[in-house]
Amino acid sequence: MKRAVSFLAVDLGASSGRVMDCRWDGCEFDLKEVHRFPNAGIQFGSDLHWDVLRIWAEIKNGLMNYRSHETTTPSGIAVDAWGVDYCLLDSRSRLIGNPYHYRDARTRGIPESLASIVGSKELFESTGVQTMEINTSFQLASMILHRDQQIHRADTLLMIPDLFQFLLSGHKCAEYTEATTTQLFDLRARSWSQETIAKLKLPSHIFPRVVMPGEALGSLRTNVVSDCGFSQGFPCIATASHDTASAVAAIPNLAESSVVLSSGTWSLMGIVLKEPNLTEEAYQKGFTNEGSADGGVLLLKNLTGLWLLQECVRIWEAAGKQYKWAELEQAAEDVIPFRSIIDPSAADLQAPADMVAAIASYCARSGQPIPSTPSEFARCTLESLSLAYREVVDDLEKITGRTLSTIHVVGGGSLNQSLCQMTADACGREVIAGPVEAAALGNAILQAVATGHIGNLGEGQSALRQSVNCRSYAPVPGHAWSEGYERYKSLVMRRREIESAAVRV
């Protein structure tokens, strides 16, 4: 090629967003950060929302930053983001209210109240997705049950990345991988589950057409072109809009024996399949099916991730104590191993006002020493996450019959050397960490395929082998992890017994 081409990857996470310039020279990818900004829920009264207008302004700031430093026009732009959250537009394409954050309290108790209408097992068989209060299905159902007039005024539902694709291109659609996170999509038919939508009494007309990853949506809107200082438009692409799907698309050397772990605010861990796994065993073990970048399926377990420690850091900062992640990671190395273990999926650790107090309370109730220093909280959190990963890998082998020998870690968690080594030790498997900005790279690869710069997804993944540096962690043998795992399993078993008893009542 005579010159490198640029693909702008807008990668939105639940704690930060970024606009990345991913350059392709015909042989390798080179990633450059154009703009980064913090992202978080905004409390308004008792409600928790996303400030999508500010996010849109930050995306445009990223485009302007690119334009101020570059003379060439990008060859494409695409958006990936987290799943389950959505926006509603009226018949004139105006935003109806601020979209809710998935941690908003309005969905509490909704799955239980709807169990007689559509139970969790039925939803799993219809959509492949496990029941969680945060699911789009229950967010929408809560609007119906609470008689929220916004849903009756709605003409179109757009998931978070689809909203920004619309603002960029003017085209309304639902991208496949993002749609599969809603618990309203039939993965076998690759279309909206009209039966589920009807049972939840949702207006079927608001769900837009579904497009597959890599579809060109048109050129950048003329008003965005002029606002951001470009001389001409460029293609807007529907990438694998769910950030997990984009991240998995950027993993080099992914094999049938590989486990993928997208590690960040959330941990999503699983394997790649061609069709959904809707077996009783997958359902009982809590696995969910979501779309992959190649039109296939990711069999995943959703786990609370580094958000546990992020929330602790937030509490400490509010008290005037500043801690850097590298400092916490280093300090955790000197703490006595397995002093305290938590179940990251415990209900009281999902949305507490004070995570430090919640972890302390959990340890006290379970008869364990209460962490008293930030380093002890960090060690407790990282070890517990690693033990949770071991349970997922063991369950995946039982469900699929595969022998899983390698764990590929992508996302921000791949930078946490202590967590990566602990994961290798806990699981007894090699961990390969990287790329860090996997979602942005996967986003860009799909753009390159859509615009004809790369032949297919496999070619892009092969090119990444030459473009990114990954670090390998070999497991260190020892009995301590096995003993810690038995303690962890007893905590999980107790939690599940309590949950089962609550369901029976």
DSSP, collapsed to helix, strand or coil, labels residue 206 as helix
3-state helix, strand, coil in the chain (%, to 5): 40, 20, 35
d(CA 484, CA 53): 46
291: closest CA among 183, 391, 395? 183
User: Per the structure block, which two tokens stand in for 63?
Assistant: 């485009």
494: closest CA among 281, 286, 358, 345? 345
Relative orientation angle of helices 325-332 and 417-427, to the nearest 10 degrees: 40
Q: What is the dihedral of CA 108, 124, 283, 106, to 10 degrees?
A: -10
Is 243 marked active-site?
A: yes
Give the CA distances from residue 429 to residues 303, 389, 423, in Å, rounded to whole numbers and listed in that order.
19, 11, 8
289: closest CA among 268, 267, 263? 268
Is the distance from CB of 181 to CB of 136 less than 8 angstroms?
yes
Does residue 435 have a cis bond before it (omega within 30 degrees)?
yes
User: Per the structure block, which two tokens stand in for 59?
Assistant: 């995306």
Catalytic, out of 21, 243, 343, 425: 243
Find all residues with CB under 8 Å of 319, minimum gap 6, and list them: none
d(CA 225, CA 231): 7
Q: Give the DSSP per-residue string, 148-202.
A: -HHHHH-SEEEEHHHHHHHHHHS---EEHHHHTTSS-EETTTTEE-HHHHHHTT-
Q: What angle do CA 149, 153, 155 make, to 5 degrees?
A: 145
210: closest CA among 168, 234, 242? 242
Residues known to be catalytic: 243
